Amino acid sequence: MPLESHEFAGGQAHAKTTLILGLVAGLLVASMVQASPWSRIATATSGLAVTIGSPANGCITGAQVLPATGPGFVSIRRHRNRYYGHPDTIRLVRELGRTLSRHTHESMMVGDLSQPRGGPMSGHRSHQNGLDVDIWFHLTASTRNIGQRYPEQRDPPSLVAPGGQGLGKSWGKLQRLLLKTSAEHPRVDRIFVNPAIKRALCRSEQGDRRWLRKLRPWWGHRAHFHVRLECPSGSPLCKQQFPLPAGDGCDRSLAWWFSEEARTPAKKPKKKKARPPRPSLPTACTALLSGS
């Protein structure tokens, strides 16, 4: 069974337990973010980019802006104001876009990065310190009116077949290219994908399979993959996630995701338990709320 956690930055726990805790924490975060000042900050701080804390409990100073469009990419849902990240993250998106543009006239769609100064946001437990970015598998031939085609409640189509056992008909060489290029990037720490995508690549890849190690199976992620970069230099307060296990991950830990245990919905507890307290943000983050 897996020992990985998607949204939580540290610790190892049974994946079922992690899912339950993640759902509880997600609901708690969603309710708290409504009144959180982090979502109301419109601008990043000036100065050097410094990542503070973990992806699930942190912030960022000196964040850079991802342009609305560029060679091979388009940023969607800009009204969320979640297109800020560490320079390493911005460079990764640009490099992926340029790589894609050499193979097709279509563009990849880039979803959420972080808020101007990071911190908690609705809909995510992570994406807080400028090192996370969501990239949709589905490509677009036109970047015009992208917000109208994919509003809040309309995600691009899934790349996983109904039933969750294999790849959908839309999967192709360009989707593999995006994943492989991301995984081979030296600054990328791990990539969260649907278990069916990981299994299909485990079965099809020949030759050098080392890049598969960075693909970590997790619930959802049928239409996008979630890239997480490692802590950058010059950010001593950044909290690195635990190291990945050895091997390519095409083993019993992957098989567990297709077991009856993994696919059986967790039963709701009869008695409501008290919500766990949300961890306090690093002290260095507090100053960003009042700083200019």
What is the total count of domains within the chain? 1
The residue type found at 118 is G
| Separation CA 217–CA 198 (nearest Å) | 6
Span 76-94, average pLDDT = 96
Q: Are strands 132-140 and 107-110 parallel, antiparallel or unpaired?
A: antiparallel
pLDDT at 20: 42
Between 270 and 235, residue with greater pLDDT: 235
Structure tokens at 68: 């609305």
Flag whether 267 is in a domain. yes
Flag whether 270 is in a domain. yes
Q: Print the domain residue range for 220.
A: 15-290
Flag whether 10 is in a domain. no
Convert the pLDDT of each residue in 197-241 to its tens digit: 999 999 999 999 999 999 999 999 999 999 999 999 999 999 999
Pick left, alpha or beta for residue 234 (phi over 0 → left; psi -120 to 50 → alpha; otherwise beta).
left
Burial of 196 (0-12, 13-18, 19+ CB in 10 A): buried
Flag whether 2 is in a domain. no
Q: What is the pTM of this model?
A: 0.86
Flag whether 81 is in a domain. yes
Convert the pLDDT of each residue in 32-51 to its tens digit: 444 578 999 999 999 999 99
Span 159-185, average pLDDT = 95
Q: Does residue 166 surpass a pLDDT of 90?
A: yes
CB half-sphere exposure, 197, CA atoms < 13 A = 33
Flag whether 221 is in a domain. yes
Flag whether 59 is in a domain. yes
Q: In this predicted structure, which of 29-33, 85-89, 183-187 has the lowest mean pLDDT?
A: 29-33
Mean pLDDT, the chain, integer: 87
Looking at residue 170, which CATH number applies to its domain?
Answer: 3.30.1380.10
Cβ atoms 247, 213 nearer than 8 A? yes
Q: In this predicted structure, which of 34-48, 110-124, 142-156 has the lowest mean pLDDT?
A: 142-156
Flag whether 153 is in a domain. yes
Question: Three-state SS for 171?
Answer: coil
CA angle centred on 228, ends 146 and 184, rounded to 5°: 95
Convert the pLDDT of each residue in 51-74 to its tens digit: 999 999 999 999 999 999 999 999
Query: For the chain, how big is the Rg over CA atoms in Å?
Result: 19
